[in-house]
Structure 1
Amino acid sequence: MNQTSKKNSLLLLFGIGTSTFGDFIYLIAINILVLQVTNSAAAVAGLWIMGPIASILTKFWSGSVIDRSNKRNLMIASDIFRALLVAIIPFLTSIWLIYACLFFLSVARAFFEPTSMTYITKLIPQEQRKKFNSYRSLVTSGAFLVGPAIAGVLLIISSAKVAIWINAVTFIVSAIILFLLPNLEKNNSISHGNALSLTNLKQDWRHVLTFSKNSKYIVTIYAIAQFIMVIALGMDAQEVVFTQKVLGLSEADFGYLISITGIGHIIGSLTVSVFSKRLSIQQLMGIGYLMVAIGYLIYALSFSFTSVAVGFIILGYFNAFYNTGFMTFVQNNVPTDMMGRILSVFGTFQSFLQIALILLIGFTGEILELRYTIIIASVLNMVVSLALILLVYRPSRAIYFKETNELSN
């Protein structure tokens, strides 16, 4: 890796880390602020609906904008827009105005995430992506562990408002760092001929459909991996209820479990970073998905803090494996000129599925004992994970897991 490439990678990691760190502070603070404003648990629960709704209403067309825009400039604009929205939230006294801000924050995020994936893929050479993704996982897990802790300290010494404003600052810092990174495209905005229109939108969806037909293996791997993630999110949504109502653990115990998971993720990310040259993309995905599925099974079958902790440690540790492997697989096989459209269109279906599965697990938990619901979900997660692993290790598909430029991007 030459000095310029190394510098760009470090800058990008610092920007991602700063923004993610701020997000975790904000995540704690916004829940506290809404509870203070409304004194309503239902209002706090409403926070979690904004993201999926915004994704559904945005992602089916946002990819068309992303692929026609300058990626770096779009990310900078998204960061600045989010900084302004976050900064005004503490001044709002109406829950509906807060919800409106959160909705548009989710819209901005729906633009930022596929755009950043495309930009990273273009900036980082193919043979260096696995290493970069392992470091990115390390930065994210560090932010996951430190962010909430800092938020707790801020809530003690100041207020939720200050914590939220710090998040606004992190978006500005991220925008400045992105400005220092190279501009990889000549176009600075959407050209007049390529402006978003119904005709262009239909054409873009046809392109995604054509790619899906011509790249069935890539799409199948992506779809199954996202389905596994949705199952996991459905189980995660019931974690607090399961640990406290079913296992009888305290809020402090749950906090310890989250910390243990974060520590496991950091150690897992360090392991992947150190051994990234020795671990292939197939091994990262195979080991990662299998062990995470085992972690969820242990969690579902637990009857004590110790057994849950073992499951959570496994979850945290091996999350780093499959995250790095899957992200590298996508970057190496999805064309960068269509990546925004492909990820956004697939993200639309994922959001629908996410809402449906969270509601299904919640509804089933009202009919059956919650433990049985979680066991069924964890067994389904294991079956789907094994199916994915079999696909990943098919000898005839080994070309899709090469880490050099044998596959055209």
Structure 2
Amino acid sequence: MIEPLPLQAGEAPTAATADTKPEPLVRNRRFLLLLASYSITTFGNTFYSIALNLWVLRTTGSAAAMAGFTIASLLISFALGSVAGTTADRRNRRSVMLAADLASALLVLTAALLLALPETVPLPFFLILHGLITVSGLFQSPAYQASVSVIVGPSRIQQAVGLLNLSENLCRTFGFAAGGILIAAIGASGAVLIDGLAFLLSYLLVLLTGSLQPKPWASPLPRTGQRQTAEADEALAERQTAAGAESSAVKMAAADEAAADKEAPPEPGVRRSFAGDLREGFRFAWEHPFARAVMVILPLLTLFFMPSMMLTQVMAVQVWQASSAQFGLMEASIPLGYMAGSAVIVFFGSSLRHRGRLIMAGLLALGPAYMLLSRCTSALSAIPVILLIGFLFAFATLLVQIILRLEVPPELQGRVFGVLGSVLGIAPSAGLTVVSVLSDRWSPQPVMAVLGGLLLLFALAAQAACPAVRRYR
């Protein structure tokens, strides 16, 4: 297990280093408000997602067109993810979330209005609107992710993240299940309207949370190793050698100056540049062994997972001839399986051991599960397999999120999650482009089987190449 380093001399305790008698989550008002806000928007987003997917598929009949919307979102995440994360660390996180919720509400309500028009909205215009909705959500996500550690403390992180994921997937399960029925009853515009109202309600809840800013450490980077301390000590030694002919008073002054450089917090009111903070986030993500491994594993996992999700939707419409209600149930199966996996993780809590091995086990089993899904002949036979995929995905990803929050200092979490959001936009975009073209040219079943085989090979390679994850306890 990667052990966090102890506090440096003169370093102030923070939410990540001091956790004296943490407040139970059921009494933590700010956590409950944040949980309610996130759950409401997640529930509303399922209506927008299923309405958008069905509208694109029924309007164009093309997997490539549907993939275009997902690729646009991923490319935006790649371009702006680290910028959004740095903004979350430099600004009041509540203010960032409020602005994002308000912008999302206005944009989603505009989408509902366009879908209500009798004329078909041009696809490029709706793609631009979808991109703007993605941008607003991109700034909300790292601010939210980084706020969880601040308001619950390190000893409650696994429980808090587990509950948040349970709530998220419960909302997705019921949202997708109800979404297909709701769209059949009131139309796509009515379903998207509910999503816009959900963002307005989320805005009001976040308004009540209070400040979500952590107290900064003197220097967060020494927690990844002793490199900075060693460099400062080396500089001190050189300074003392060069000053051999000087008085002891001068030597003491030099030592005091070096110690101040190492340990003293920045002067009040002094802030680094935006570019400097941005570089610091990338630097931490590269220097921390677990974070570096995650920056490789998760993007490559999504390279296979997201195209497979898209192929499942295409197979539901084109191969299995699923109705709107069946389509919604299939969409709900992934979060329902994920919720079951999350429940297991929350139940065992801190007694859960060998978490790195569990991550790798979930990763190894996903490939064969997708190969099995490619052989299903109906929507009803596919649903149990999709449930299993969601369960395995929880172990492959949820434990990673928990460990990242434990390993990354709170004042750097916005940047680290922002960097992760950026790198997650690279590989999946290429995968979706290739898979959508192959699906349109051939049939989705053999493409799904090949993806499952490639995912299995990737999992075997990750098992050998990422000991920081495999050995984590």
Indicate conservation of the 8 Å contact 1:231/1:381, yes or no: yes
* Aligned partner of 1:29 among 21, 45, 51: 51
CA distance in 2: counterparts of 1:111 and 1:330, whole angstroms: 19
Check 1:45–1:228 CA distance in 2 against 1; reply closer, same or farther (3 A cut).
closer
Indicate conservation of the 8 Å contact 2:178/2:328, yes or no: no
Q: Which residue of 1 aligns with 2:23?
A: 2
Indicate conservation of the 8 Å contact 2:376/2:382, yes or no: yes
Correspondence 1:129 to 2:157:
yes
Check 1:60–1:320 CA distance in 2 against 1; reply closer, same or farther (3 A cut).
closer
Q: Which residue of 1 aligns with 2:167?
A: 139
CA distance in 2: counterparts of 1:268 and 1:151, whole angstroms: 23
Q: Which residue of 2 aligns with 1:160?
A: 188
Q: Which residue of 1 aligns with 2:401?
A: 327
Indicate conservation of the 8 Å contact 2:67/2:436, yes or no: no
Correspondence 1:58 to 2:58:
no
Q: Which residue of 2 aligns with 1:222?
A: 295
CA distance in 2: counterparts of 1:237 and 1:123, whole angstroms: 36
RMSD of Structure 2 on Structure 1 (CA)? 3.4
Of the structure 1 ranges 68-77 and 327-336, higher mean CA displacement relative to structure 2 is found in 327-336
| TM-superposed deviation, 1:41 | 4.5
Q: Which residue of 1 aligns with 2:100?
A: 78
- 1:57-87 superposed Cα distances (whole Å, 9 cap, x missing partner): 4225333322211112211111111112212
CA distance in 2: counterparts of 1:156 and 1:44, whole angstroms: 20
CA distance in 2: counterparts of 1:84 and 1:106, whole angstroms: 13
CA distance in 1: counterparts of 2:278 and 2:214, whole angstroms: 25
CA distance in 1: counterparts of 2:45 and 2:328, whole angstroms: 18
Equivalent residue letter for 2:205: I
CA distance in 2: counterparts of 1:44 and 1:285, whole angstroms: 30
- 1:172-219 superposed Cα distances (whole Å, 9 cap, x missing partner): 2212222222413389xxx99769xxx743x34532443244224421
Q: Which residue of 1 aligns with 2:209?
A: 181
Check 1:142–1:396 CA distance in 2 against 1; reply closer, same or farther (3 A cut).
closer
- What TM-score do the two structures reach when normalised by structure 2? 0.71
Indicate conservation of the 8 Å contact 2:368/2:453, yes or no: no
CA distance in 2: counterparts of 1:85 and 1:307, whole angstroms: 38
* Aligned partner of 1:352 among 416, 422, 426: 426
SS at match of 1:165: helix
CA distance in 2: counterparts of 1:385 and 1:271, whole angstroms: 22
Which is richer in helix? 1
- 1:354-406 superposed Cα distances (whole Å, 9 cap, x missing partner): 111111223445677654433332122123223444567669954xx5xxxxx
Indicate conservation of the 8 Å contact 1:225/1:388, yes or no: no
Identical-pair percentage = 20
* Aligned partner of 1:361 among 432, 435, 446: 435
Indicate conservation of the 8 Å contact 1:51/1:106, yes or no: yes
Equivalent residue letter for 1:354: P
What are the ranges of 5 or more consecutive residues in structure 1 without an aligned counterpart?
Answer: 402-409
Equivalent residue letter for 1:264: G
* Aligned partner of 2:390 among 304, 311, 316: 316
- 1:230-263 superposed Cα distances (whole Å, 9 cap, x missing partner): 2111222212344666xx4331465554444444
CA distance in 1: counterparts of 2:141 and 2:70, whole angstroms: 18
CA distance in 1: counterparts of 2:394 and 2:141, whole angstroms: 19
Indicate conservation of the 8 Å contact 2:72/2:131, yes or no: yes
Equivalent residue letter for 1:231: F
SS at match of 1:159: helix
* Aligned partner of 1:115 among 124, 143, 168: 143
Of the structure 1 ranges 327-336 and 14-23, higher mean CA displacement relative to structure 2 is found in 327-336
Equivalent residue letter for 1:51: S
Q: Which residue of 2 aligns with 1:405?
A: none
Check 1:151–1:396 CA distance in 2 against 1; reply closer, same or farther (3 A cut).
closer
CA distance in 2: counterparts of 1:31 and 1:363, whole angstroms: 17
Q: Which structure would you say has the larger Rg? A: 2
CA distance in 2: counterparts of 1:99 and 1:157, whole angstroms: 25
| TM-superposed deviation, 1:315 | 0.8
Equivalent residue letter for 2:387: I
CA distance in 1: counterparts of 2:330 and 2:78, whole angstroms: 32
* Aligned partner of 2:322 among 247, 251, 256: 251
Q: Which residue of 2 aligns with 1:406?
A: none
* Aligned partner of 2:352 among 279, 283, 289: 279
| TM-superposed deviation, 1:111 | 0.9
Correspondence 1:17 to 2:39:
yes
| TM-superposed deviation, 1:138 | 1.4
Equivalent residue letter for 1:218: A
Indicate conservation of the 8 Å contact 2:162/2:342, yes or no: yes
Check 1:151–1:304 CA distance in 2 against 1; reply closer, same or farther (3 A cut).
closer
CA distance in 2: counterparts of 1:50 and 1:395, whole angstroms: 31
Of the structure 1 ranges 173-182 and 51-60, higher mean CA displacement relative to structure 2 is found in 51-60
Equivalent residue letter for 2:410: T
| TM-superposed deviation, 1:285 | 1.9
Equivalent residue letter for 2:98: I
Check 1:332–1:294 CA distance in 2 against 1; reply closer, same or farther (3 A cut).
farther
CA distance in 2: counterparts of 1:186 and 1:330, whole angstroms: 16
Check 1:172–1:327 CA distance in 2 against 1; reply closer, same or farther (3 A cut).
same
Q: Which residue of 2 aligns with 1:291?
A: 365
CA distance in 2: counterparts of 1:268 and 1:349, whole angstroms: 25
- What TM-score do the two structures reach when normalised by structure 1? 0.81
* Aligned partner of 1:171 among 192, 196, 199: 199
